[in-house]
Structure 1
């Protein structure tokens, strides 16, 4: 993929006709970057709420702090996704102690252990999302990956999709969270947790959140296709070479960050808000 001047195009700009697109902005200081990231974390929860992913006190997003990489932000326990704002988020250290942000409410103990294991095992992961969404939970009962039925599924080609083929109940010990990180592996971006739900990771909260919405939709499509196939329709998957090509040309972190921006823009429009004066870095 090359531009008219012979320079190689990024996967993001390969899909653009005309001017280029920029991914996550840069910032003059850490405080601005952190504020931007927490804004988008809250917006991700709002998107999840609108899609029906909230269920009681279950579900969490973690976001690695840009200044202190051994700490990450978590949503407080017992607050509906639709109500969360950046100031609600709690900053926890590697021991699970709340050391910044909102100290008035606890965080999810199981959530901390799961996310802590992932952030320790994967320094490249900035954010992780886990919810008990309807179709992810339904497909997880089969304990197997979904198939390459379309281009969206190809975002999870190869070892980008993994399965944790056991359910040990709520995670309250580190020994129970380590298998989650191990199953995800070094290259995983989406994990099907058998009899439980889905988990996704990314180099931004936007990427991780978009991948979660995509993975949930892939599970829904797989269930629909399986039901139709029972009635005699022939199921056809994308061939391996095409799935691999689609993955390699469409699934970079910049592209996936941009894929989530229309969702955020829609939330801002529907809610009539931004959390702070408009600032998109430089």
Structure 2
């Protein structure tokens, strides 16, 4: 068991919350495994089932590959701890997440990254270009939010909420990427597609030759095609396989 795990936590939460904790800890580990973490400076949050506005977030200062289900910190909408934890939290880092959760009751998980490719595309005037199959699955539900400095001011929340609207993907200009989902697996798969789209764009633009755009008619039908490709399962098709990979390569996340 990890030095950061607390076996007492499982007895203090519902089975539904524990399952969410395991998925969220797995998501943190997968972000680390894919090289999307930025030391300890980004966050993934998840809304706890129930009428309370309670959320799970990372213990501030732990690397993402160290996070476990029991080490996740449970906070309210003000980022105040609900269950006692020896781990600190980063209230400033919760501004973006609390804004999204407040405006989107349909969202369980908010995933935010500062990857090199994501920040690079966020700095490009035209944003994400529809030049790949992956991008064709993203741009139909993509929004942008202008950079206002470090996200530490509550007054930015309303503008961020308005910019995201009902979309799944958000590019934070000069800052990074954000995805939301009705489940942790949904948010992760959305980020995978957004991140890969950005990586492909950076690589393609480095070639220095004109780029071919995907036909708008193809983009319009991309979501329906994706449902066919995943047999209607979406993220549920890949999530068990991702968990098995973690069990092999980064075990202990479910502690």
- Bin the TM-score by the shorter chain: 0.7 to 0.9
The residue that corresponds to 1:261 in the other structure is 240
Instruction: Tell me if structure 1 keeps the 8 A contact 2:112–2:179.
Output: yes
Instruction: Tell me if structure 2 keeps the 8 A contact 1:209–1:260.
Output: no
The residue that corresponds to 2:216 in the other structure is 240
- Out of 112, 116, 141, the position equivalent to 1:130 is 112
Q: 1:111 to 1:248 in 2, by over 3 A?
A: farther
Q: Give the alignment's Cα RMSD to 1 decimal.
A: 2.0
Q: Supply the distance in 2 between the matched residues of 1:134 and 1:208 (Cα, whole angstroms).
A: 19
Q: Give runs of aligned pairs for residues 118-267 of structure 1, distance below 5 A.
A: 118-158=100-140, 160-164=141-145, 166-186=146-166, 188-228=167-207, 230=208, 232=209, 234-250=210-226, 254-267=233-246
1:227-259 deviations in Å (ceiling 9; x for gaps):
22x2x3x42222111111122332699412333
The residue that corresponds to 1:8 in the other structure is none
The residue that corresponds to 1:94 in the other structure is 77
Unaligned runs of 5+ in 1: 1-29, 277-282
- For normalisation by structure 2, the TM-score amounts to 0.86
Q: Give runs of aligned pairs for residues 33-48 of structure 1, distance below 5 A.
A: 33-48=16-31
Q: 1:180 to 1:143 in 2, by over 3 A?
A: farther
Give 1 or 2 for the bigger CA radius of gyration.
1
What's the secondary structure of 1:128's corresponding residue? strand
Q: Supply the distance in 2 between the matched residues of 1:204 and 1:91 (Cα, whole angstroms).
A: 17
- Out of 68, 79, 91, the position equivalent to 1:85 is 68
1:127-167 deviations in Å (ceiling 9; x for gaps):
00011112101111114431222222122132x11111x22
Q: 1:156 to 1:169 in 2, by over 3 A?
A: same
Instruction: Tell me if structure 1 keeps the 8 A contact 2:130–2:213.
Output: yes
Instruction: Tell me if structure 2 keeps the 8 A contact 1:143–1:192.
Output: no
Deviates more, 1:89-98 or 1:116-125: 89-98
Deviates more, 1:211-220 or 1:197-206: 211-220
Q: 1:75 to 1:68 in 2, by over 3 A?
A: farther
Unaligned runs of 5+ in 2: 1-12
1:29-75 deviations in Å (ceiling 9; x for gaps):
x8222211111111111111112222233110010111245221111
Deviates more, 1:138-147 or 1:196-205: 138-147
What's the secondary structure of 2:137's corresponding residue? helix
- For normalisation by structure 1, the TM-score amounts to 0.79
Instruction: Tell me if structure 2 keeps the 8 A contact 1:143–1:194.
Output: no
